[in-house]
Amino acid sequence: MRVGLLTGGGDVPGLNAAIRAVVKRGEGEHGHTIIGFRNGWKGVVDGDVMPLTRRDIRNVLPTGGTLLGTARYHPHASDGGLDAALATLEAERIEALICIGGDGTLNAASKVAEAGVKVVGIPKTIDNDVWATDASIGFDTAVSIATEAIDRIHTTAESHNRVMIVEVMGRHAGWIAVTSGIAGGAELVLAPEEPFDITRIEKFLKHRHRAHASFSIVVVAEGAVPAEGTSMLYETQVGKFGEIVAGAIGERLKVEIEQRTGFDTRVTVLGHTQRGGIPTAADRILASRFGVAAIDAVTAGTSNVMTAIRGGEVVLVPLSEVAGKVKFVPQGLLTVARALA
C-alpha cells in the first residue's frame, strides 16, 4: 500500500517520533511504502514528495521540529488548492493519507476525506486545544519548558522584589498557562477561559505585597482577555483584545500593574522556545502510540478518523467530530490554579 504522510501547522517536539513510528511500523510490519510530503498541505498541492524509509528515521526520536517540514497552509482555503491536492494524491497513487496536525490541518484532512480520500489524522499542538483527545503531541514538552522558565524567573522576582509576568502561548485556550502556572507555583494565572478583572488583580497584588511577600509571578496566556466592562488605564497600539499578537497582553498588563501598584514589573514572552528543542519522554511515547495506531488504522482500511487518547487508552474518533471545535480548560483545573494562588 502507498501511504502518504504530512505534518502541518506549527512545529512541535514529538513530530519526528510520530513520523518514525509510522515509517517503522508501516514499512517493517505491514510492508507499506511511505511517501512523505514536504511542508504540510503545501507539499501535497505542489507535488513535493519525500519517500521515507527506515534509513530516513534513524536517530530522529529525540529531535525537535519535523524532518518533513511544515507550513501554515490549507488547500481548501486557497483557489484551486483542493483540486491540486487531490490531483497529486492521484498522481502519486496514494491509497491513504496520514495527516499530523492541529485544528487547521485536521480540518483540511476532513475536507480531503469528504472528497473520497482515505485519511487518518494525528493530533499535535502545544496548545492542547484539539477536541476529543485528552492530549496532543507537543503539549507536555511546552508545559515542561514553561514550568522551567517560571522556576528560573522566580529567582529574579524574589531577588529584585518584582512582579514578573510570564506570557505563554496557547492561542484561544489557556492549557499551557494553567498547567505551567500550577506546576511553577504562579501567584496568578490568567487564561482566556476566565476573563480577568484588572482591579481585582491590583487589589490582590497590593494585599499580597503588604501582607505576605514582596514579589509575584503572574502567568498570562497570550489569548487572555479582560472581563467585559473592565476599564484598563493603558491603551496599546499592539493588537486588540481577542486578537493574538505575541507580547501584546503581557506588555499591556505590565503597564497596568506598574501604574496601579507602583511595583517594579517585568514581562517575559516565552514565545517559540515553548515549541523548540527535544521532546519529553511523555511526548515521544504519545507520538509513538499515535503513529502506530494511525498506520494500523490505515492498514485495516479505517478512514476519516483521528487517533486520540482518552483515559490513557488510544482510540479512534471520527474526524468530523473534531473539525472546527476548540477544547477549553475545564472548570476543575481553573479552580486548582485559583485555589493555589
Place of cell 521532546: 279
> In this chain, which of 170, 174, 226, 250 binds ligand F6P, going by CB under 6 A?
170
Stretch that binds ligand F6P, among 63-71, 124-132, 156-164, 261-269 (CB under 6 A): 124-132
With CA atoms as reference, report the closest residue to 137 among 56, 61, 52, 37: 61
> In this chain, which of 19, 98, 109, 126 binds ligand F6P, going by CB under 6 A?
126
The strands making up 305-310's β-sheet, listed across from edge to edge, are 49-52, 33-37, 2-7, 96-101, 119-123, 305-310, 313-318
Q: Which residue is nearest to ligand F6P (CB)?
A: 169
Place of cell 515521544: 284
Binding mask 268-297 for ligand F6P (x = CB under 6 A): -------x----------------------
3-class secondary structure, 127: coil
Task: Categorise residue 78: left if φ over 0, alpha if ψ from -120 to 50, beta otherwise.
Answer: beta
**Would you name the residues annotated as active-site residues?**
127
What is the distance between the alpha carbons of residues 220 and 184, in angstroms, rounded to a whole number?
Answer: 13
For residue 316, state whether it binds ligand F6P (rule: CB under 6 A).
Answer: no
For residue 15, state whether it binds ligand F6P (rule: CB under 6 A).
Answer: no
Cβ distance to ligand F6P smaller for residue 127 or 251 = 127
Cβ distance to ligand F6P smaller for residue 66 or 125 = 125
What is the distance between the alpha carbons of residues 218 and 287, in angstroms, rounded to a whole number?
Answer: 31
Q: Please report how close the Cβ of residue 39 comes to ligand F6P at its closest, in angstroms.
A: 13
3-class secondary structure, 317: strand
For residue 137, state whether it binds ligand F6P (rule: CB under 6 A).
Answer: no
Q: Which residues pair with 98 in a beta bridge?
A: 5, 120
Calculated CA dihedral for residues 40, 44, 50, 51, nearest 10 degrees? 120
For residue 125, state whether it binds ligand F6P (rule: CB under 6 A).
Answer: yes
Amino acid of residue 175 = W
Q: Please report how close the Cβ of residue 9 comes to ligand F6P at its closest, in angstroms.
A: 6
Q: Decide: 162 and 267 in contact? Cβ < 8 Å.
A: no
Stretch that binds ligand F6P, among 52-60, 87-95, 169-177, 199-207 (CB under 6 A): 169-177
For residue 10, state whether it binds ligand F6P (rule: CB under 6 A).
Answer: yes
Q: Please report how close the Cβ of residue 194 comes to ligand F6P at its closest, in angstroms.
A: 18
Residues at the site binding ligand F6P, with contacts judged by CB under 6 A: 10, 72, 102, 125-127, 169-171, 222, 244, 275
Residue numbering of the annotated binding site for ATP: 10, 72-73, 102-105
